[in-house]
């Protein structure tokens, strides 16, 4: 399958269909992750956020951009994530939240991003966030401009990396913020380990990509 503009159209069409949700998400979920109902989640009064899985062309290949968080005294210190953040009152929607945060965190202007669709919402128990992921596409990004206060590093990874199941480590040892060591499914790209919520969202996304690819061969 060639991941060109025709593929972008196929992907956009697939994202308009009913989403697989937990069926696909939990392929990359840690064994200890609780399965909570929507009612249970809302009882926790979660904070609401929007993130963007941004595809873009680089050297004839589609890439996904990630941010490595700064180290800080918190549950997500140093982790790999999608650009995004908490919804603000001025945001008209959670898609707008994702686009605004992407521009703020990595310098990609909102008008350069084509929205392709949305993924299933995901609750993150350690930080009590309910995250709404969007999927976007930018044809050409000349330069990322990381926000130095929040972003340690911008990391670019080819889409094809995540479609190769040999790149999944199913029992990667991770030390949590409280010092506990656990084994989790993870994508390991060079020195970067993508696990937890970001890996779970990627799992649903790759499921959708595989479906779009198989249906249009």
Average pLDDT over residues 53-73: 87
Helix (DSSP H) and strand (DSSP E) numbers for the chain: 6, 11
For residue 138, give its domain range. Answer: 5-163+200-215
CATH code for position 77: 3.90.79.10
The answer to whether residue 114 sits within a structural domain is yes
Cite the beta strand spans of the chain per DSSP E. 47-58, 61-69, 80-81, 84-86, 114-118, 122-124, 129-138, 151-158, 168-175, 181-189, 192-194
Q: What are 136's two structure tokens?
A: 């976007």
pLDDT of 44 reads 95
What are the distances in angstroms from CA 203 to CA 15, 83, 217? 14, 17, 21
pLDDT of 77 reads 60
Q: Which residues pair with 151 in a beta bridge?
A: 69
pLDDT of 79 reads 85
pLDDT of 149 reads 87
Give the whole-angstrom CA distance, residue 137 versus residue 2: 16
Mean pLDDT over the full length of the chain:
92
Q: Which residues pair with 157 in a beta bridge?
A: 64
The answer to whether residue 139 sits within a structural domain is yes
pTM of the model: 0.93
Tell whether the model's pLDDT for residue 122 goes beyond 50.
yes
Q: List, for residues 101-121, the tens digit of each pLDDT value.
A: 999 999 999 999 999 999 999
Average pLDDT over residues 14-25: 96
| pLDDT bracket for residue 216 (50, 70, 90) | low
Quickly tell me which residue has 């799992």 as its tokens: 203
* Residue scoring higher pLDDT (178 or 117): 117
Tell whether the model's pLDDT for residue 76 goes beyond 60.
no
Tell whether the model's pLDDT for residue 74 goes beyond 60.
no
Q: Give me the phi and psi of 101, to 5 degrees please.
A: -65, -35
* Residue scoring higher pLDDT (215 or 80): 80
The answer to whether residue 11 sits within a structural domain is yes
Quickly tell me which residue has 């001025």 as its tokens: 90
The answer to whether residue 72 sits within a structural domain is yes
Number of domains in the chain: 1
DSSP state of 151: E
Q: CB count, 10 Å around CB of 204? A: 24
Q: What are 12's two structure tokens?
A: 């956009």
The answer to whether residue 186 sits within a structural domain is no
The answer to whether residue 189 sits within a structural domain is no
The answer to whether residue 149 sits within a structural domain is yes
Residues 6+ apart with CB under 8 A from 89: none
| pLDDT bracket for residue 72 (50, 70, 90) | low
The answer to whether residue 175 sits within a structural domain is no
Tell whether the model's pLDDT for residue 215 goes beyond 80.
no
Q: What are 87's two structure tokens?
A: 């919804």
């Amino acid at each position: 399958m060639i991941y060109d503009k025709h593929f972008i159209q196929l992907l956009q069409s697939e994202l308009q269909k009913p989403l697989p949700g937990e069926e696909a998400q939990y392929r990359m979920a840690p064994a200890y992750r609780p399965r909570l109902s929507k009612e249970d989640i809302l009882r926790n009064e979660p904070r609401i956020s929007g993130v963007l899985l941004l595809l873009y062309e680089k050297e004839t290949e589609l890439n996904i951009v990630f941010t490595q968080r700064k180290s800080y005294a918190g549950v997500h210190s140093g982790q790999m994530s999608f650009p995004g953040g908490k919804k603000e009152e001025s945001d008209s929607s959670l898609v707008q939240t994702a686009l605004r945060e992407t521009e703020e965190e990595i310098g990609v202007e909102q008008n350069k991003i084509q929205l392709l669709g949305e993924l299933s919402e995901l609750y993150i128990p350690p930080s009590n966030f309910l995250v709404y992921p969007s999927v976007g596409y930018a044809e050409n990004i000349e330069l990322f401009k990381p926000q130095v206060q929040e972003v340690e590093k911008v990391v670019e990874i080819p889409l094809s990396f995540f479609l190769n199941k040999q790149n999944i480590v199913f029992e990667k040892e991770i030390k949590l913020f409280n010092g506990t060591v656990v084994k989790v499914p993870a994508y390991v790209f060079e020195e970067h380990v993508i696990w937890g919520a970001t890996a779970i969202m990627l799992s649903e996304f790759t499921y959708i990509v595989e479906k779009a690819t198989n249906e249009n061969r």
